[in-house]
Amino acid sequence: MTPAGPVLSLRGVTKSFPLADGGALQVLDVEHLELPGAGCTVIKGRSGSGKTTLLNLIAGVSAPTGGTIVVHGTEITALPEARRDRFRAERIGYVFQTFNLLPAFSALENVVLAMMFARTVPRREQRPRARAILGRLGLGARLGHTPGQLSRGEQQRVAIARALANDPPLILADEPCASLDAATAREVLAVLLAVCREAAKTLLVVSHDEAVLGAGDRLLDMATINARAEAAG
């Protein structure tokens, strides 16, 4: 059940990294950011503008220096780490720029791994479910192949399948097409958008790729979102 209110809300979120001289480098200062509901939002920004840091904070893989992040009504910044890990496993799918598939595991196993960590899908249903998702993404004949045996486009589709494994309402994609050639990038982006729209997911994509910028329902600029840090930097 999806609670009423925005899918994602950030208020006063800052992120600083300590410097060797004892000072701190502030890379992010988001006064307010909200994603109202299902659909695809694209955040554009140049390299080093804090896009990946923003996604990492939303995913809860790193903690903000200050501020609150609420995902589907849960303030993840207030959760202890173990519960934040569990929340991420169940409620957030993450697609990485460099796919980050585990090389020793087959395509099917890479998808099943996400279910193993979330523990929301019964074990006997995990493989059939992973097969179905990979089949939907056109990888039905590649289930037993390891990442090294797949093309880059296929690898990214496996990564998308993995992000969808636990049926999370929010999908984060960090430069999903940056490591692909133009034709493959278009194909992968189309697949990502199609499966997210079909399942009424909230998709947040960060990219500096022109091909991606026009694909979403909404386009935000990192320079605007992170204006205070950019001004200070």
Partner 1 sequence: MTPVTVVWRYLQGRFVTSVLTVVSVALGVSLVIASVLLTRGIKEGFIAGATDYNLIVGAKGSPTQLVLNVVFRMDAPTPNIPLSAYEDLRADPRVEAAVPVAMGDAYQGFRYVATSAAYFAPFSWRRHVPALATGRLFRSEAPERPDYEAVLGADAARRTGLKPEDRFYEGEEMATYPLRVVGVLRPTGTADDRAIFISLASYWEMNEVSRKARVKPLTAVLVRPKRLSDLTALHRGWNVGPDLQAALPSAILLNIFNLLGLVEDVLAVVLAVVAVVVGLYLFVTMYNATLERRREIATMRALGARRATVLGIVLLESCAIAGLGGLAGILGGHGVAALGASLLAARGGPVTHALALSALQPVTFGAVVALGALAGLLPAVLAYRTEVAENLAPL
- Interface residues with partner 1 (CB under 8 A) are 52-53, 56, 59, 61-62, 81-82, 85-86, 88-90, 94, 96-98, 100, 102-105, 109, 112-118, 123, 126, 162, 166, 175, 178-179
Residue 179 CB, nearest approach to partner 1 (Å): 8
Please give the torsion angle defined by the CA atoms of residues 157, 88, 101 and 161, in that order, rounded to the nearest 10 degrees: -20
**Which of residues 63 and 220 has its CB atom nearest to partner 1 in the complex?**
63
Strand order in 170-174's β-sheet? 92-95, 170-174, 202-207, 39-44, 218-221
Residue 87 CB, nearest approach to partner 1 (Å): 8
**Which of residues 13 and 115 has its CB atom nearest to partner 1 in the complex?**
115
Q: In degrees, to the nearest 5, what angle opens at C-alpha 184 toward C-alphas 179 and 186? A: 100
Query: CB within 8 A of 78, min separation 6: which ones?
Result: 68
Residue 156 CB, nearest approach to partner 1 (Å): 13
**Which of residues 146 and 197 has its CB atom nearest to partner 1 in the complex?**
146
Residue 113 CB, nearest approach to partner 1 (Å): 6
> Phi, psi at residue 195, to the nearest 5°?
-70, -35
Residue whose C-alpha is closest to residue 8's, from 54, 63, 61: 54
